Structure 1
Amino acid sequence: MSERWSRDQVLGLAPDAAAVKAAGGVAKPAKWDGTGCDGEAVWGECQGSGKSVYRAAVDLTEPAFRCSCPSRKIPCKHVLGLLLLWSEGSVADGARAGWAAEWLAGRRERAGRAAQRRAAAGKGGDEGRGKDPKTAERRERRVEEGLAELDRWLRDQVAHGLAQAAKARYQMWDDVARRLVDAQAGALAGQVRGLAAIPGTPGWPDRLLAEYALLRLLVRAHRRRDELPEGLRETVRSRVGFTVPQEEVTTAGERVRDRWCVTGSRDTAQDVLTTRRVWLRGRRTGRPALVLSFSAPGTSLDASLPVGTEVDAELAFYPGSQPLRALVAERFGTAVPGTPGGTSVAGFLDEHAAALARDPWLDRWPATLADVRLARAGDGGLYAADAAGDALPLRMADPWRLLALSGGGPVTLAGEWSPRGLRPLAAWHETEGAVVL
């Protein structure tokens, strides 16, 4: 690593607020022994309660974490505490400890075997992945039947009027979603469940009708999928719930190499599954990318792309009319701190409009705005305004961290844009560097 991470970048890895607080208690040099670091790793032994000694190590190239403590949190407080000490310069360069070297060598060996398996799967084609044409045909029929039923339900909702939705119980939406799950159209099921939160909110009839229209547009597009351009057809299939294997994306997806700035990360939970969305922006291409990871209870999310860093990598993009989701196919070197290049508000809106024209079902789009200041409008809302006077409304429950960082001055601001406004995820200040919001 050419530069050590900032405190905010370290704490951005924490799984929850409790881990942040606990890390502060162990981020003290007196609690550690045998610490050291080099260009790829940080390691050390922390004195626990009683006679317990916990060995913690971090592979900085991912990053990946290892600790001998019994905590199920990844990274645990010991790993976070060690990284905090490293970030402030309290961990000196040194020869790698034997146990840390063994762990890192094992990781490199497993990564090599995984790469060989991916290459073998790519050479095997469809037969190598074991696809059964009859199984695929049966699923196509079930999806078509499920979408036909959804189409009838949508037409009934509009025919009977939207007023009934305000009094409807959640079960109405859940019943439709469960039938879509049975029809193997899982992505649509999630969209239908989300409709239940709209009635009762400001301007809800317009929003609900717009969502109904987008769902019907998707149903009609799937019905005519053979007439669509290849990219749009892939988009429609993914919105319905058909997935593309990662091996296929890695071997056949569009490859783009750039220095990718990590501009934001957000975790959302649905049922028992947690999803992490990590947004990237290419420094040379200005292209946005989305890397997704998922975790079930007891497993960890991918933490290899810390917000505020920049990595030289080649991404493989999933197919679609507006390729956005991607996999990190290959890295060239380690991540370093970096500030992304941003656009004006007008430039961002043009970019978003072009993306929406290619994929009308986009529900969020990454924004990276350069040299914006925070401003209050007549409605009392908080806005991000650029030098031209253009502004975007901000959507955040607690703006004080961002207000304190900016102090009335310009910042580079990154977040997720949706019809309800911009949700800030990170900001860069001239002197303070990157701050995760």
Structure 2
Amino acid sequence: MTQQGVRRSADQVLSLAPDDASREAGSELAEAGRWSGAGCSEEGVVWGVYEGGGAPLRTVADLSGAEGPAYACACPNGRPPCEHGVGLLLLWAEGNAVVREGAAPEWVRELTEEAGAREGGGTGREKGAPADPEAARRRAERRAARITAGVVELEQRLGDLVRSGLASAEREGYGLWEETAARMVDAQAPGLAARVRELGAIPASGPGWPSRLLEECALLHLLTRAWLHRAALPEELAAVVRTRVGLPAAPTGPPVLDDWLVLARYDTSDGRLTTRRIWLHGTTTARTALVLSYGPAGRAPELTLPVGLCVRAEVTPYPSGPRVALGDRRTTPAPTSVRPPGVTPAEATALYGTALRADPWLESVPVTLADVVPTPVGDGWQLTDLEGKTALPLTPAVLSRSGLWRLIALSGGAPVQVFGECGHRGFTPLTAWSPVRGEPIGLYEAITQQRNGKDGP
């Protein structure tokens, strides 16, 4: 098999990753400057030494096997491919010159054989689980130790910021935050890295940034302390902490078969990875579910479900939150007259407050507002109930976008039903139903540009 025959696209490489954390961290590591001694063979074996921080890590990915891809890496991550394997394969898929075709060095064979012996005769085949639970436990402990070291370093960074004053964050600029985020990636804590990058962008986000920075620093401090004391937490909260830090999580079931109404769909990008979010409503179970899919930066993910249509499918829940894995689709998407039940603005706020008990770092919850009217207030807009007693402000970032004006035109002063995300910044409308014809209208362009970093915090 020639190299051309086994070369994967970036989309295919991302699909090999076992979880979101590996996808996100792998995209971070796909930088030529982080790798040395990288190469590939005609048969489809790719190797390299990760030099991003700490001890160098040798990584091998073998795509030539008839049983599927195999991976070996010196890092403690036990679910192949690890983020280093994903990052290396992304460089190779993109044709980066740092990955040179040639003969594999001797350490490639040695590392592969060592991984095979450690796993009881295998080499981390794509669909196989580790054969040795004790080895998996030791790897998990090593990764937890690396995350803890990163958390201690992050705590020191936050302490220095508070002692020197928030104004220092504006003087130092984004570079120091990016360096700290890179350290969190090296510590195998991609969730912390993402939150650190968000902190770095706040000083340039406009008036009121010191308050926002202090709030986000407090939430990050709460997360680091929760990680350090995770053994004393209830298991459900400990699982949330592990997910927020960036440890992988797999769907645990049992599968749920239902007719799923596609409530909303929108894409976000962090410059390295494009994430597609699809919200579903189970017409029988009344469950709201979130499906995530991924693609390389600048390219849309492959999964497409049209808003307003209904599809019969199985989904498997993740351990916490509304996220599910989409399984077999029994039917093609078709029109439906079903709508999710709505709540008042006051009830939506209460739902978010309740959700924060289980996950204090939750940005928002999915809710459908029934019979609300877009109403101007001050320099912004809000969605008000029919009696005018309660209202939810629209998130500031959507106010200048076409989605807001589409919603106002759709309402025309009459009550509408709106699905969106309700959080501490307000309500972000994603889909509204026409009060005349009853058909859904997508408003998701507003949030797409907001979360790409073009509209403030």
> Could you state the TM-score of these two structures normalised by the residue count of structure 1?
0.65
- What SS class does the counterpart of residue 342 from structure 1 fall into? coil
In terms of mean alpha carbon deviation, does 298-307 or 184-193 score higher?
298-307
Quick one: distance in 2 between partners of 1:386 and 1:129?
A: 55
Match of 1:127, SS state, is coil
The separation in 2 between residues aligned to 1:345 and 1:309, in whole angstroms, is 26
Tell me the equivalent position of 1:316.
Answer: 316
Q: Give the CA deviation at 1:285.
A: 4.1
| AA of the residue aligned to 2:199 | L
Map of 1:260 onto structure 2: 260
Task: Return the structure number with greater relative CO, CA threshold 8 A, min gap 6.
Answer: 1
* Aligned match of 2:212: 207
1:12-411 matches, within 5 Å, as 126-127=130-131, 132-200=136-204, 201-245=206-250, 249=251, 252-297=252-297, 300-320=300-320, 323-338=321-336, 339-377=339-377, 379-389=378-388, 390-395=390-395, 396=398, 397-398=400-401, 399-411=404-416
Matched position secondary structure for 2:352: helix
Whole-Å separation in 2 of the counterparts to 1:220 and 1:355: 20
Which residue of 422, 429, 433 maps to 2:427?
A: 422
Question: Is the 1:263–1:368 Cα contact (8 Å) retained in structure 2?
Answer: no
Q: Distance in 1 between matches of 2:406 and 2:430?
A: 11
Q: Secondary structure at the match of 1:324?
A: coil
By how many angstroms is 1:357 displaced?
Answer: 1.1
In 2 relative to 1, CA 424–150 (structure 1 residues): closer, same or farther, beyond 3 Å?
same
Partner of 1:435: 441
State the distance in 2 between where 1:213 and 1:264 align: 31
Q: Any conservation in 2 of the 1:342–1:412 contact (CA below 8 Å)?
A: yes
Shift of 1:428: 0.6
Residues 358 and 333 from structure 1, CA distance in 2 versus in 1: closer, same or farther, beyond 3 angstroms? same
- What secondary structure sits across from 1:198 in the alignment? helix
Over residues 209-256 of structure 1, what are the superposed CA-to-partner deviations in whole Å (9 max), with x where a residue is unaligned?
A: 1111111111111112222222211111111011124xxx1xx33444
Provide the rounded CA distance (Å) in 1 between the counterparts of 2:271 and 2:305: 25
**CA-to-partner distance for each residue in 1:340-378, whole Å, 9 max, x for gaps?**
32211112111111111110011132221111111111x
- The AA in structure 2 aligned to 1:165 is A
Q: Any gaps of 5 or more consecutive residues in structure 2? A: 1-124, 444-457
Number of equivalent positions: 309
Cα offset, 1:284, TM superposition: 4.1
The letter of the residue matching 2:165 is: G
CA deviations over 1:171-222 (Å, ceiling 9, x no partner): 0211110100111101110111011222253322222111111111111111
Distance 2:135 2:325 in 1: 22
Query: Cα–Cα, structure 1 residues 128 and 267, in superposed 2: closer, same or farther, change >3 Å?
Result: farther
Relative to 1, partners in 2 of residues 1:130 and 1:415: Cα closer, same or farther, differing over 3 Å? farther
Which letter does structure 1 place at the counterpart of 2:427? L
Unmatched 5+ residue regions in structure 1?
A: 1-119
Contact 1:344–1:369 (CA under 8 A) maintained in structure 2: yes
Partner AA of 1:204 in structure 2: W
Aligned to 2:39: none
Q: Closer, same or farther in 2 for the Cα pair 1:172/1:424, shift >3 Å?
A: same
Q: C-alpha displacement at 1:299, in angstroms?
A: 5.8
Q: Does structure 2 conserve the Cα–Cα contact (< 8 Å) formed by 1:254 and 1:318?
A: no
Q: Secondary structure at the match of 1:199?
A: helix
Assess, with a 3 A threshold, how the Cα gap between structure 1 residues 223 and 196 changes in structure 2: closer, same or farther.
Answer: same
SS of the aligned residue for 2:131 comes to helix
Structure 1 residues 358 and 422: CA distance shift in structure 2, 3 A: same
What is the Cα deviation at residue 157 of structure 1?
1.3
Quote the offset at 1:300 in angstroms.
4.4
What one-letter code is carried by the residue in structure 2 that aligns with 1:134?
Answer: R
Q: Is the 8 A contact 2:352 2:423 kept in 1?
A: no
Return the TM-score normalized by structure 2: 0.63
Task: Tell me the distance in 1 between the aligned counterparts of 2:341 and 2:256.
Answer: 18
Distance 2:369 2:135 in 1: 44
Cα 1:130/1:306, change in 2 over 3 Å: farther
Could you tell me how far apart the structure 2 residues matched to 1:229 and 1:126 are?
28
